[in-house]
Amino acid sequence: MRTAIATIVFTATVAAAAEQPTQDVAPPAKPGLFADHRIVDAEIPLPVLDRARTVAVLYSHAPADKNLTKGLEELAAAEPQRYTLRTAYTPMRDWLRIAGGFAHFQVGGGTRPESRLADFERLMGNNRIGDLAAVAAVQYDTRDLPSGRQIESGYYEYSGIMEINVSSVSLAGVYVEQLSAYRTVGNGTTGVVDGPFPYPVELPNVNVRNVRTNVKVPMGISGENSGIAPVAATPWPRDPRVAWPTYRDGMEKLAAAHPTTRFVWTTIPLASAGNTQRSYFNAELRAYAHSTGKLVFDLADIASHDPAGTLQTDRDGQVLASMYAEPGVSGAMNATGRQRAARAWWWLMARIGGWEPPAGAVSTAADSTERE
């Protein structure tokens, strides 16, 4: 592999009354409920499940996230008498009005958590399907926050044109960027080089036609010596210290706009390692939800405890337990893990439907609020 001199162009990217569902829904359950690993095996009476399956639910998720949706399908197939559920992917508006059920939608794009929330807000908008929902939730994806131990600082965005000798080490560790390069390979076909790549960039032995990149430079790093100038100071949406308040404020705004809908707050699913930034988000969510009385579907807690209730960790905190991990897919759960998540969801819907479980069976956030 040979190195090359490439000209790289940096471009900055700047960042009426609602119809109510017709099904009978009991008065809201007591606030502050956490559906976590401790209630997965709870025994729910069949009449309670019958009531829960009529609740009109709007569930929004990332395109790659099938932990809950597929788990509900698998659980229904395994135990149809108890867990049969009316479900639909992107149904028309009238679908929820008819008989309730679980309607789910893909929201957002790429690894952009703020885009999922924005799409969810649109679904909840007036005359959209969301205003028929008795219960609504938006689930972020594992990849919405990066892996790694370091929580990144804020970023400046720069714009400029500069020539970089990619064999140079002077910029190593300074820039983190998404590189997308058209290239010509031996037979003349065109492909794409994808990143992110840290500098120095060592391109394959190909003829690079042009390169476009968005670059974010940590605040405090001067652009004076690199020949580029700052054009904006914008928080990075994937920084958990940005992603968490964005999610919190968005959910509170939706709750105020839709007072008859019960909003379920959801933790970010975990990967098999390197969950420092996801754990930060999840800890903030648990603490806030515990102090303000929210409904929480704690998928991260469910995924990080084995069936005996033992927490699975690495040096960075909670991890997706190996017995629930789908091989080769970051954050994806296998059938065992998915069905455990589905059982927890049924428990939460039963509680929202008015069921009072036996004493001692109600989950709280008492031991789930500390940061890992």
pLDDT digits (tens, 9 = 90+) for 11-38: 322 223 333 444 444 444 445 789 999 9
Asked, for residue 187, whether it belongs to a domain, the answer is yes
> What pLDDT score was predicted for residue 82?
97
Tell me: the pLDDT tens digits for 188-197? 444 343 444 3
Tell me: the pLDDT tens digits for 136-189? 999 999 988 888 766 554 444 433 332 333 333 333 343 333 433 333 333 444
Boundary (domain end) residue, out of 234, 259, 286: 234
Same domain, yes or no, for 159 and 129?
A: no
Mean pLDDT in the chain?
73
Q: Which two tokens stand for residue 89?
A: 């992917």
Asked, for residue 209, whether it belongs to a domain, the answer is yes
Claim: this prediction has a pTM higher than 0.85: no
The H or E element containing residue 263 is strand 262-266
Measured CA to CA, the distance from residue 53 to residue 46 in angstroms comes to 11
The H or E element containing residue 102 is strand 101-106
Same domain, yes or no, for 135 and 195?
A: no
Taking residue 46's Cβ as centre, other Cβ atoms within 10 Å add up to 9
> Per mean pLDDT, which range of 200-209, 288-297, 340-349 is the poorest?
200-209
Asked, for residue 108, whether it belongs to a domain, the answer is yes
Asked, for residue 79, whether it belongs to a domain, the answer is yes
Same domain, yes or no, for 224 and 260?
A: no
Number of domains in the chain: 2
Asked, for residue 363, whether it belongs to a domain, the answer is no
Same domain, yes or no, for 9 and 62?
A: no
Which residues fall within 8 angstroms of residue 80, CB to CB, at 6 or more apart? none
Same domain, yes or no, for 251 and 230?
A: no
Same domain, yes or no, for 196 and 214?
A: yes
Boundary (domain end) residue, out of 171, 200, 234: 234
Same domain, yes or no, for 107 and 143?
A: yes
Is 103:57 a contact under the CB 8 Å cutoff?
A: yes
Quote the distance between the C-alpha of residue 251 and its chain's center.
Answer: 14
Same domain, yes or no, for 249 and 275?
A: yes
Taking residue 134's Cβ as centre, other Cβ atoms within 10 Å add up to 22
> What residues make up the domain containing 185?
5-13+153-234
Number of H helices, E strands in the chain: 9, 16
Measured CA to CA, the distance from residue 319 to residue 305 in angstroms comes to 9
Measured CA to CA, the distance from residue 113 to residue 134 in angstroms comes to 24
Same domain, yes or no, for 230 and 307?
A: no
Measured CA to CA, the distance from residue 18 to residue 251 in angstroms comes to 18
Kindly state the percentage of the chain with pLDDT values over 90: 45
What CATH number is given to the structural domain containing 276? 3.40.50.1110
Same domain, yes or no, for 169 and 314?
A: no
Same domain, yes or no, for 132 and 68?
A: yes
Tokens 């064999």, residue located: 167
Q: What is the CA radius of gyration of the chain?
A: 23
Same domain, yes or no, for 195 and 130?
A: no
